[in-house]
Amino acid sequence: MEPSALLVMGDDVAACLLVHAYRKFDRKSRVILVARTRDLGYSHRLLPYYSVGLTTSLRMFSQQLLELVDTVRVVLLDEIELVGMDRVIIRGEVNPLSRLVIAGWLAPHPYRRQVLHLSNPQSAEELRDLLEAGLRSVVVLEGLGALPLVDALVRVGIRPIFVLGSKG
């Protein structure tokens, strides 16, 4: 059995930044990042630059960067099974956990299908299509990290309603 690990369940830029920063303080522990897809490190902060062609990607991190530079093991969500809060089974192998961080996309939400989380490029494209179709008001449920998104919406003539510190 391998030594205990930090397990981070998330694939957006915040989860990638978390494991990247953790590696600066602890180079020896095992770190496992659980992602929904192979597209890691998506950041809605890049959306305004992407929409005007200043960047060609909405990703700030890649799987190669995390695995090679930060020595983080990246696995897909369907390859793991949590066994309590102290063990995880990855591809049939039992791994003890010392710490567990869970991203918001795992929490149940009654309105999940009606909310764009902007956690992947498809959501950004869907938002762009809605804007082109005449969307004029957007409710932004996020922390301070969403301020660049709110700023970008104002610049293109959208009326954002910013809800700071929401839990939904």
Q: Where are the domains of the chain?
A: 5-105, 108-163
Residue at 147: amino acid letter: L
Q: What is the pLDDT of residues 76-109, one digit of tens each?
A: 888 888 776 678 888 888 888 777 665 544 433 4
Residue 108 C-beta-side C-alpha neighbours within 13 Å: 1
Q: Rounded distance, CA 117 to CA 84, Å? A: 27
Which pTM was predicted?
0.55
Maximum distance among all Cα pairs of the chain, rounded to whole angstroms: 56
Task: Give the per-residue pLDDT at 136.
Answer: 65
Q: Rounded distance, CA 135 to CA 69, Å? A: 41
Q: What is the pLDDT of residues 36-73, one digit of tens each?
A: 877 777 776 677 777 777 777 777 777 777 777 778 88
Residue 32 has pLDDT above 80, yes or no: yes
* pLDDT band per the 50, 70, 90 thresholds, residue 166: very low
Mean pLDDT over 25-37 rounds to: 83
Kindly indicate whether the domain formed by 5-105 is annotated with CATH number 3.30.420.40: no
- Tokens encoding 154: 């104002």
Residue 52 region by backbone torsions, left for phi larger than 0, else alpha for psi between -120 and 50, else beta: alpha
Residue 35 has pLDDT above 70, yes or no: yes
- Alpha-helical segments (H) within 27-155: 47-51, 63-64, 121-132, 147-155
Instruction: Enter the DSSP assignment of 136.
Output: -
- The strand pair at 87-90 and 80-83 is best described as antiparallel
